Structure 1
Amino acid sequence: MKAILTSLILTALASSGHAEEAAHHLRIGWVQAMANAPAIIAEEKGFYKSEGLDVELKGFGDGPVIQQAVASGEIDVAYIGAPPVYQWAARGLKAKIIAKVNYGQAALIAKAEGPITSLSDIKGKTIASVSRGSGMDVLLRGFVLKEKARFDPDSDVTISQMPVGNMNAALDTGLVDAAFLWEPFISQSLLRGTGKVVLDVNKELPEYPWYVIAAPEKTLETRRSDLERLLRAHAKAIAFLNEQPDEANQIIAKAFNLEAIKAKDGSEVQPAVIVAEARKRLGWSAQISSSDRAFIQKLIDYSVSLGFLNAKIDVSEVVDDTIAKSAGLQN
Structure 2
Amino acid sequence: MKPVKLLITLSLALAWAGAATAQAQEKPIRIGWVYAMANAPAVIADRKGYFKEEGVNVEIKSFGDGPILQQALSAGDLDMAYIGAPPVFQWYARGLNSRILAKVNYGQAAVITQANSSIRTVADLKGKKIAGVAKGSGMDVLLRGYVLKEAAGLEPDRDTTIVNMPAGNMPAALDRNLVDAAFTWEPFIATALLRGNTRLVLDVNQAIPQYPWYIVMAMPRTLAQRPDDIVKVLRAHRRAIDFLNKHPDEANQIIAEAFEIPTVKTADGREIKPVEVVREARKRIGWSDRIQQNDVQFIQQLMNYSRALGFLNKDLRATEIIDTTWQQRAEKAPAKH
User: How high is the TM-score relative to the length of structure 2?
Assistant: 0.91
1:302 paired residue among 275, 282, 305: 305
Structure 1 residues without counterparts, runs of 5 or longer: 1-7
Q: Percent identity?
A: 56
1:160 match: 163
Tell me the CA shift for residue 100 of structure 1.
0.3
- Quote how far apart the aligned CAs of 1:16 are: 5.0
Q: Which residue of 119, 133, 137 corresponds with 1:134?
A: 137
Output aligned runs, 1:17-166, within 5 Å: 19=22, 22-23=25-26, 25-166=28-169
Q: Does 1:258 align with 2:267?
A: no
Deviates more, 1:16-25 or 1:273-282: 16-25
Asked if 1:283 is matched to 2:286, the reply is: yes
Change (3 A) 1:140 1:30: same
Deviation at 1:23? 3.6
Following TM superposition, the consecutive aligned residue runs of length 4 or more in structure 1 with deviations greater than 2 angstroms are: 15-18, 20-24
User: d(CA) in 2 for partners of 1:169 and 1:53?
Assistant: 43
Q: Does 1:240 align with 2:258?
A: no
Aligned-residue offset at 1:120 = 2.3
1:75 is paired with a residue of what secondary structure? coil
Q: 2:209 is matched with which residue?
A: 206
- What amino acid is aligned across from residue 142 of structure 2 in structure 1? L
**1-structure distance, mates of 2:191, 2:305:** 30
- Tell me the residue number matched to 2:6: none
Counterparts in 2 of 1:261 and 1:232: CA distance versus 1, 3 Å: same
Residue by residue over 1:233-277, the C-alpha shift from the partner in whole angstroms, topping out at 9 and shown as x without a partner, is 001000000000000000001001111011223111001111111
Question: What secondary structure is seen at the aligned counterpart in 2 of 1:327?
Answer: helix
Q: Partners of 2:315 and 2:47 in 1: how far apart?
A: 40
Secondary structure of the corresponding residue to residue 100 of structure 2: strand
Question: Which of 222, 226, 235 is matched with 2:225 structurally?
Answer: 222
CA contact (8 A) 2:111 2:182 kept: yes
Name whichever of 198-207 and 155-164 sits farther off: 155-164
Q: In the alignment, residue 41 of structure 2 is paired with which amino acid?
A: P
Residues of 1 paired with 2:27 and 2:219: CA distance? 17
Letter paired with 1:45: K
- Cα deviation code 1:206-240 (max 9, x no counterpart): 00000000001100111110000000000100000
1:297/1:96 CA distance change after superposition, 3 Å: same
Inter-partner Cα distance in structure 2 for 1:18 and 1:93:
27
Task: Determine the C-alpha separation between the residues in 1 that align with 2:121 and 2:326.
Answer: 43
Mapped contact 2:110–2:204 kept (Cα < 8 A): yes
Task: Report the aligned-residue RMSD.
Answer: 2.0
For the Cα contact (< 8 Å) 1:235–1:329, is it kept in 2?
A: no
Paired residues, number: 321
**Segment of structure 1 superposing worse, 290-299 or 157-166:** 157-166
Gaps spanning 5+ residues in structure 2: where? 1-10
Offset at residue 22 of structure 1 (A): 4.0
Distance 1:329 1:33 in 2: 29
SS at match of 1:154: helix
Contact conserved, 1:98 with 1:214, CA < 8 A, in 2? yes
* TM value normalised by structure 1: 0.93
Which moved further from structure 2: 225-234 or 310-319? 310-319
CA distance in 1 between partners of 2:110 and 2:155 (Å): 19
What is the Cα deviation at residue 301 of structure 1?
Answer: 0.3
> What is the letter of the counterpart of residue 73 of structure 1?
G
Deviations 1:57-91 (A, max 9, x none): 11111222222211211011000000000000111
Partner of 1:326: helix, strand, or coil?
A: helix
Q: Distance in 2 between matches of 1:67 and 1:75?
A: 9
Preserved contact between residue 126 and residue 158 of structure 1 (Cα < 8 Å): yes
- Which residue, out of 303, 317, 321, partners 2:320? 317
Q: Which position in structure 2 is the counterpart of 1:4?
A: none
Paired with 1:24 and 1:285, the residues of 2 have a C-alpha distance of: 28
| Alpha carbons of structure 1 residues 17 and 93: separation in structure 2 relative to 1, 3 Å | closer
Tell me the SS of whatever aligns to 2:157: coil
